[in-house]
Amino acid sequence: MITGKAPPIGTKVIDFELPDESNTAVRFSDIRAGGPVLVLFYPSDFGMLCSIELGEVRDNYERFVEIGVKVIGISTNTYYSHAAWIANMKLPFTLLSDVDGKVAKAFGVLCPEDSWFKGRACRSVFLVSKEGVLVYVWVPEDTHQMPDLGRLIEECRKAVSGSE
């Protein structure tokens, strides 16, 4: 279902700027300056599986904070859709709006033109070090698959401690 090929672990990721839920421009390098960032690409605000996935992250958000990892979500929804979804879901982390899909495409996770999710970000997870290097990548063949939260937490711990 994925159109591109996700960059491999060890790749230096692109820097980008996208609006957050309040329509404030956010530069990715500024987010990761404080430590590793868990980037959650997902197809749609208010989607059933997206609500389950980001709800699980919300319910375990303090674990990511304790580890020292920032969490952001990215989809092709608008910033005002993000604002409504954050309020509805009580999400404690930022959602960035990639309306034209350029960032999803750069990460190789823009859903193909012939799919149900045409032009949306396919569900995927990237853990990016403070230096901007990919240290963990999860890109399923099927965007309906959900990431393993325990594995994400473990990968975050490894990234912060510097162990493999």
Residues belonging to the active site: 50
* Beta strand extents in the chain (DSSP E only): 17-19, 25-27, 37-41, 70-75, 94-97, 124-128, 134-138
Contacts of 32 (CB under 8 A, 6+ apart): 70, 128, 129, 130, 132
Query: Distance between CA atoms of 7 and 20, rounded to whole angstroms?
Result: 24
CA torsion 60-95-83-98 (nearest 10°) is -150
Query: Using an 8 Å Cβ cutoff, are 144 and 47 in contact?
Result: no
